[in-house]
């Protein structure tokens, strides 16, 4: 689709959510260089202005707000004569904290963006893709969409849920030329940790928590500038698979990015659950794996 349109002198059109920094910002720059007409979006007006100053067609989009989704998609379609070739659902964040410390409001806040927003935005562009007979829907998931780690319960659950939706959507699109694909990054250089630290302070009451000691370790990790985990890759690694998915005649259902994602995908299929739990506890950096199964004093 991409190569054919470029050969005809027609730029393919992509809408990307969450472009203020990190993966989203890298992807919109990369796709523009590849010849795409990019609609770059962000939740904050200041970030929308910043994107416009970088030469993008930029729009405000808050995926936790149904009105914002409808207005953004309508504006894109009005500028493109009703055409959209691809959507990259990238907007997302993490709410750290032990499951027993998560309020219903905190969990709802997590799901509004990571799950409900991505699905509603996809549903908003699907009628256009159905009418034109083709399209690609990309969803930025995570290694934590299939391999859970402690103190990431809300984020784990949101990505597990997203993957369930996308697997179902892919089946329902069978026989069409519309493709739904999951991108599953492991550690990527971005503002994710600093944003997660803010979410932690907003939602978790740590003073009387049973997990206070582990939270101290977690906060140290979130405060690290640069690569806090082994095998961390730049956002260009995600751009590479986004381009591969968009240019493929038949995209893969899943694109795994970084060594940890590929390893845990394999281990999940061969190891007993408790053995995998121990490895994930150790890899998390927040809870000493050696203490797994022991009671705290």
Q: Report how far apart, in Å, the C-alpha atoms of 118 and of each of 57, 139, 161, 228 are.
A: 20, 8, 11, 27
Q: Kindly list the catalytic residues.
A: 155
Q: How many CA atoms lie within 13 A of 14 on its CB side?
A: 36
Which two structure tokens, joined as six digits, stand for 197?
Answer: 């630290």
- Work out the end-to-end distance of the chain between its first and last CA atoms, rounded to an integer number of angstroms: 60
Let me know: does 183 contact 255? Beta carbons within 8 Å.
yes
Alpha helices in 56-152 (DSSP H): 66-79, 104-111, 118-132
Euclidean distance between CA atoms 141 and 117, whole angstroms = 13
Sign of CA dihedral 166, 172, 175, 176: negative
Q: Which helix (H) or strand (E) holds 202?
A: helix 192-203
Which two structure tokens, joined as six digits, stand for 239?
Answer: 């751009």
DSSP readout, 136-192?
EEEEE--GGGTS--TTBHHHHHHHHHHHHHHHHHHHHTTTSSEEEEEEEE-SBSSSH
Residue among 238, 200, 257 at smallest CA distance from 88: 238
């Amino acid at each position: 689709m991409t190569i054919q349109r470029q050969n005809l002198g027609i730029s393919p059109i992509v809408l990307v959510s969450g472009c203020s920094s990190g993966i989203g910002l890298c992807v919109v720059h990369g796709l523009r260089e590849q010849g795409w007409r990019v609609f770059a979006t962000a939740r904050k007006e200041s970030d929308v202005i910043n994107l416009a100053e970088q030469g993008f067609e930029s729009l405000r989009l808050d995926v936790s707000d149904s009105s914002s989704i409808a207005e953004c998609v309508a504006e894109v379609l009005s500028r493109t004569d009703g055409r959209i070739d691809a959507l990259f659902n990238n907007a997302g964040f993490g709410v750290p904290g032990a499951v027993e410390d998560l309020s219903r409001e905190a969990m709802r806040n997590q799901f509004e963006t990571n799950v409900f927003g991505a699905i509603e935005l996809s549903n908003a562009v699907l009628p256009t893709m159905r009418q034109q007979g083709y399209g690609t829907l990309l969803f930025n998931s995570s290694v934590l969409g299939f391999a859970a780690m402690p103190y990431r319960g809300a984020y784990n659950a949101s990505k597990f849920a997203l993957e369930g939706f996308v697997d179902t959507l892919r089946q329902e699109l069978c026989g069409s030329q519309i493709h739904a694909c999951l991108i599953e990054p492991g550690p990527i250089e971005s503002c994710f940790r600093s944003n997660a630290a803010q979410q932690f302070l907003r939602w978790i009451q740590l003073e009387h928590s049973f997990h206070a000691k582990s939270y101290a370790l977690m906060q140290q990790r979130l405060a690290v500038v640069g690569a806090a985990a082994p095998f961390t890759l730049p956002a260009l690694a995600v751009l590479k698979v986004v381009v591969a998915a968009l240019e493929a005649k038949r995209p893969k259902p899943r694109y795994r990015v970084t060594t940890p994602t590929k390893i845990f995908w394999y281990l999940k299929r061969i190891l007993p659950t408790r053995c995998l739990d121990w490895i994930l506890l150790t890899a998390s950096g927040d809870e000493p794996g050696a203490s797994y199964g022991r009671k705290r004093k």
